[in-house]
Amino acid sequence: MEETTLDLRDLFKIIKRRKWIVICITLLSIFCGLIISFIPQNIVPVEKKKELYKSTASIVIGTFPDLESDNIKDITILNQQIVQTYGTVASSRTVAEKTVEELNLDMKTDEFMRKIKVISNPGAQVITIHYADKEDGNQQTILNSYIKNFIKEAQNIYPTGKLKILDEPSEVEKIAEDDYLKLIGTPTQAQTNVQTNTQEKSKNKKLILAISLILGLMVGFGVAFVVEYIDNSLKKKEEAEEILKSTTLTIIPKDKPKEKENINEAFRTLRTNLQLKEDKIFTVTSTSKEDGKTMVSVNLAKTFAEAGFKTLIIDGNGRNPRINEAFNLQITKGISEILYEENTSLINESNSVLLNTDVKNLNILSWGNEKLNPADLLSKSNLEELLKELKNKFDYIVIDTTSMVNYCDAQIFSKVSDGTLIVSTEGKTDKNETVRMKELIDISGINVIGIVWREGNF
């Protein structure tokens, strides 16, 4: 059960470390999905327009009241209602059957009714009837017969109604099918296709975006795990402990404002663990430049000083001195001048190279201005004697030095100090470099006190 929990935790850390890979790939996938969704899905070839042959007639219905009549409104409303009633009669199956039978047409009644279109206009008291067919033929004759059957049937139903042919069936004329459908108020096939395509596109866009999101996440997670697998950096403190054959003295949380107190507490833990070992001089090193050695050195020295111990921090990084910068102090004479001149009296004179800081009980011995190669300077000087003299003046000494894999300076300092702290950073410290560092430690016989593990800022 414990292993499963750890695996899930590791999985979450991997996702957290590689979150920008997942986010970028997912957004890219969604963007591609948006582009695809706007590309026409179906390119329909242009078809030849269909044509029809039609004949049209119109019938006026009702009487028009005298302008001096008192009931003009009532008569008008009655006529409009009659128009609607006659429109229903004109569209009836009865009229269609009589026409088919009378003319002995070679088609069924249902087929014939599909060719007849009746349009009622109650406001104008007019009924318009169209008859259209694909073949040029006797449309005018058929429509003429249909109108007569309609008038006859209408008078049987409503004898007092008055119907008058306003326009006799017209000569047969050719018309495009789409134009005919517009004329009779029926949506054209193109309009129907547009409406259908619009609905389908709306559904397709949502589907494409959903698929893009899922694919983006899948590919994003896949790439993230591949990158994680290829990445050769240390991901867990247990990996550093296994390679270096040492224990972790403290875990420093991510360097974020809300973690400030937790970071301070981590250094207090480190201070306590070092006090229990009764060592006084500590060299702080790592495998590479970006592991945070200077940050650890400065905070460890401050923690000792804040606890009331007289503390000295030595800038032993002659390649890239940064301790003065950390305390906003100008570079003056430092350890390089003492070693070069072999003059330890500099630490006793009134213009001592031991600089004061804003932190009580904390002094700095900077690297100085000597330009001689640091490794050559450290190798031929009596560094051990200098540290013994400083040890008599201070309770604790913290030496910030170079990375051990890149330069031998750290080996020299580590050899003459009481113990060495190795800083390893999650997601930054390289495994191969850590292995190489372990080899150098064994060759030099360096006393490694423990590991300072820094969580990565993901």
Based on the fold, state whether residues 254 and 271 are members of the same structural domain.
yes
- Same domain membership, residue 386 and residue 355: yes
Supply the pLDDT for residue 411.
94
Residue 68 burial (CB count, 10 A) = 6
Of 185, 219, 253, the residue that ends a domain is: 185
Pair (368, 445) in one structural domain: yes
221 and 330 both lie in a single domain: no
Q: What is the pLDDT of residue 439?
A: 95
Task: Flag whether pLDDT at 344 surpasses 70.
Answer: no
CA distance 371 to 436: 29
Inside any domain, residue 45: no
Q: Are residues 256 and 385 in the same domain?
A: yes
> pLDDT per residue over 228-278, tens digit each?
778 888 888 999 999 999 999 999 998 777 778 899 999 999 999 999 988
Q: How far is it, in rounded angstroms, from Cα 149 to Cα 159?
A: 14
- Hey, which of 123-132, 212-221, 302-311 has the most confident mean pLDDT? 302-311
Label residue 317 by pLDDT band (50, 70, 90): very high
The 10 Å Cβ neighbour count of residue 369 is: 12
Tens of pLDDT, residue by residue over 44-98, are 455 566 788 888 888 888 665 554 555 666 666 777 777 788 888 888 888 888 8
| Mean pLDDT, range 144-155, rounded to an integer | 86
How many structural domains comprise the chain? 3
Is the overall model pTM greater than 0.75, yes or no? no
Whether residue 167 sits in one domain with residue 263: no
User: Tokens 């206009």 correspond to what residue?
Assistant: 121
Q: What is the pLDDT of residue 1?
A: 37
Q: Quote the CA–CA distance of 427 and 236 in Å, as a whole number.
A: 9
- List of long-range contacts for 216-220, beta carbons under 8 Å, 24+ apart: 216/25, 216/26, 216/27, 216/28, 216/29, 216/30, 217/22, 217/26, 219/25, 219/29, 220/21, 220/22, 220/23, 220/24, 220/25, 220/26, 220/29
Residue 319 belongs to some domain of the structure: yes
In a domain, 46, yes or no: no
Residues 98, 111: Cα–Cα separation, whole Å: 14
Range of the domain at 125: 51-185
Between the CA atoms of 147, 150, 156 and 159, what dihedral angle is there, to the nearest 10 degrees?
-60
Q: Are residues 180 and 199 in the same domain?
A: no
What's 270's DSSP letter?
A: H
Among 148, 170, 185, identify where a domain stops.
185
d(CA 19, CA 13): 10
Q: Is 128 helix (H, G, I), strand (E, B) or coil?
A: strand
Distance CA 317, CA 312 (A): 15
The order of strands in the sheet holding 448-454 is: 248-252, 448-454, 419-425, 281-286, 396-400, 311-315, 362-365, 354-356
Q: Averaged over 98-115, what is the pLDDT?
A: 86
Contacts of 250 (CB under 8 A, 6+ apart): 266, 267, 269, 270, 273, 452, 453
Would you call 47 exposed, middle or buried from its count of C-beta atoms within 10 A (0-12, 13-18, 19+)?
Answer: exposed
Do 264 and 397 belong together in one domain? yes
Is the alpha carbon torsion for 344, 349, 353, 355 positive or negative?
A: positive
